[in-house]
A and B are shown apart, each in its own frame.
Chain A
């Protein structure tokens, strides 16, 4: 399994092309942080904050929210139907080619 390619638009509209390894047990939030994108990951990846919220623009990559994620997004701001929490999205081959946008920061 090699690296996958993801396109991420940050909060200033700049587009970043990332390469992420599928064999290091990483999630999307961790990949963003390793590329120094402004994703705080306040709760450390436990679906207890919404600082890693992203919008998935490519339909086939949206995937399904787990229960904790659903519950967290219930209380979050700027939630859309294609919102996901980056920390709950493992980097697997399935995510190759995804086009993602960072959600605005919480007020």
Chain B
């Protein structure tokens, strides 16, 4: 059981900045995110794109901003539950909330801040009839713990940099990789593409273009994958398929947490960004209110005010004073 002061659902830029603001108030945080790395949309969709409207940065690459936010939050030693989606929330007898993830990991805290952005990233799934039969036994939508797949023969589908980067990674580590894509155009770095063709020449990879995985066969466990092109069908005997067609965000289970939802966003009171459920806040792109702008910088402001309110909820007897970082510096946790 993970116990903390604030459970933050979503480890994107706003969730990460919340760790810093909370830390200044000596509140500890634990973040939950469905993708295996922090940074939210910035790390998942556009790490190399420049952002021009972050105060103080005429220009900053999205991925770099995530690194900076991690650095800023580092003194406050937040915990992370990554690659798991926050599914259920319960109110306990002691007034705390219990948040359980898709893998059953439990987190308890007096305050929950939802910094979910556009929703949790869910894999775009291929349209194959018996796909769900193999979802826990051979089909993987994300690569977590790559070591377990080394040395095996595997099939990776997709045309983006996720598919290409993982294909190159595994081929370089003694796995024979079949990279399968619907066309011959890859949406990836030229270097990664060049590396892939080089690996194919070395016999470590086979790139199947104008091809699609059409059939999955197996008895309880994935055993054979059928790849089809216009002309032929190829059967690959392997227990590993990675359909890496990108992720798309869905509000998901948060939509069933008894919160007021308007157009896929959570309504909040702009006094302190609390939702209709006392103790649950919503900050960043996931919230809505009259005049809301979905900007990272707005999320930063909302996080700051929400944290002040959270402190009062957790320590109602203590007086809150705003201390400027220029006066007392940043004192991290041990």
The interface of chain A, by Cβ under 8 A from chain B, is: 40, 42-44, 46, 48-49, 51, 67-68, 70-72, 74-75, 77, 106-107
Q: Which stretch of B71-79, B245-253, B317-325 is in the interface?
A: B245-253
Q: Which stretch of B5-13, B103-111, B178-186, B268-276 is in the interface?
A: B178-186
The interface of chain B, by Cβ under 8 A from chain A, is: 41, 45-46, 49, 118, 124-125, 127, 158-160, 181-183, 185-187, 245-246, 248-249
Contact A74 B248, beta carbon cutoff 8 Å: no
Contact B245 A75, beta carbon cutoff 8 Å: yes
Contact B46 A48, beta carbon cutoff 8 Å: yes
Contact A71 B159, beta carbon cutoff 8 Å: yes
Contact A74 B183, beta carbon cutoff 8 Å: yes
**Whole-angstrom distance between the alpha carbons of A51 and B249 in the complex?**
11
Contact A42 B248, beta carbon cutoff 8 Å: yes
8 further A-B pairs in the complex, CB-CB below 8 A; given A43-B46, A46-B46, A74-B182: A42-B248, A43-B41, A48-B246, A71-B160, A75-B158, A75-B160, A75-B187, A75-B246
Contact A68 B248, beta carbon cutoff 8 Å: no
The verdict on A68 contacting B49 (CB below 8 Å), with A42-B118, A42-B249, A75-B182 known, is: no
The verdict on A72 contacting B187 (CB below 8 Å), with A42-B118, A49-B246, A49-B248 known, is: yes
Q: Which 5 A-B pairs have the closest CB atoms?
A: A71-B187, A74-B183, A71-B185, A75-B245, A74-B182
Contact residues of A: prevailing secondary structure = loop
| Closest A residue to B181 using CB positions | A74
Contact B248 A71, beta carbon cutoff 8 Å: no
**Whole-angstrom distance between the alpha carbons of A87 and B227 in the complex?**
33
Q: Smallest Cβ distance from A98 to chain B, in angstroms?
A: 26
Q: Give chain B residues whose Cβ lies under 8 Å from the Cβ of A74.
A: 159, 181-183, 185, 187
**Whole-angstrom distance between the alpha carbons of A107 and B124 in the complex?**
8
The 8 Å CB contact of B186, one of A40, A49, A51, A71, is A71
Most buried by B among A42, A70, A106: A42
**Whole-angstrom distance between the alpha carbons of A79 and B11 in the complex?**
33
Q: Give chain B residues whose Cβ lies under 8 Å from the Cβ of A75.
A: 124, 158-160, 182, 187, 245-246
**Whole-angstrom distance between the alpha carbons of A42 and B197 in the complex?**
32
